[in-house]
A and B are shown apart, each in its own frame.
Chain A
């Protein structure tokens, strides 16, 4: 075998190893969210059952469950399970300087959000539905009496909703905390 051919064989071998390593790398990156046993949803499941609104721990030293939490923000969460029907979320805007709700898939990704700018009569409100429930609801809509509901289709049957309220001053944190715990997440009859 001449030296050139040997070099070519070695290069091919290195390329094959690199390609295999890249494949394994991408496979692992894609699998992490699927196999991670302690993602946000799993941590939230330890706080309360689906449908219940629970306060999220405030960002503080020693609180190690939810990283990158703003200490100025009071937050609450409810998990939803759409298998029994759509879930109606209502969140009061109160006196906080800023309030919002965000809708997350089972894996934690945000699929929708509302701020207090979109509130009507002091409440932010939306109905989380599966794409199938949405089709049935739309089919039964009365054209003369269009629904006032904001319907938000969820990519996953399970997920969670987070309410946040901004405290303008440290002394207003407690009020913001009480405000976010007034969020309700109620399962409605299947359409």
Chain B
């Protein structure tokens, strides 16, 4: 299921996982988050549908669906954190710098950026993972209950 730039594998965290999801879990060794714990959204494209490109700067924001906590992190295509000089692999909702009205902007780029900078690091292809912990959305995720307007946008601001 796709919501804006994000994909949700809502069924991965339940016994109803489809055969493709089960096969993928068995091969990757992933331990899925249960629906009752939260939701995991993964983006491999920006909000215009273009593949995420390490030569570009992206602004991710400015709000998320309701959740007790959320995190935004960057991984390689297989879901592993990417080495970077800043040692920064993600942001928590509880540590992020916010603007005046409570929104946030995370800047995803190779070179250092002011504000909440999420470094791309040494990798060709990267993905963004948004995790919503203890969210009322989990109950409706399978039924397409997440509004596109409620998830963060991933806007390409420029490319080297």
Which size class do A's interface residues fall under?
Answer: 35 or more
Is B86 on the interface with A (CB-CB < 8 A)? no
**Which of chain B's residues have a CB closer than 8 A to the CB of A33?**
22-23, 25-26
Chain B residues with CB under 8 Å of chain A are 13-15, 17, 19-20, 22-23, 25-37, 40, 68-69, 71, 73, 75, 78-83, 89-90, 92, 94-95, 121, 129, 131, 133-134
Is A186 on the interface with B (CB-CB < 8 A)? no
> CB distance A109 to B33 under 8 Å?
no
> CB distance B71 to A72 under 8 Å?
yes
**Which of chain A's residues have a CB closer than 8 A to the CB of B22?**
32-33, 107, 109
> CB distance A29 to B19 under 8 Å?
yes
Proximity string of chain A (145-165) to chain B, C-beta cutoff 8 Å, 1 when within and 0 when not: 000000000010000001010
> CB distance B79 to A68 under 8 Å?
yes
> CB distance B25 to A164 under 8 Å?
no
**Closest A residue, CB atoms, query B127:** A68
Docked CA distance A40–B17 (Å): 16
> CB distance A100 to B34 under 8 Å?
yes
Docked CA distance A18–B36 (Å): 40
Is A64 on the interface with B (CB-CB < 8 A)? yes
Binds B, one of A7-15, A80-88, A111-119, A135-143: A111-119
Proximity string of chain A (64-88) to chain B, C-beta cutoff 8 Å, 1 when within and 0 when not: 1111111111010100000000000
> CB distance B40 to A68 under 8 Å?
yes
Within 8 A of B (CB), among A100-129: 100, 102, 104-105, 107-115, 117
> CB distance A32 to B81 under 8 Å?
no
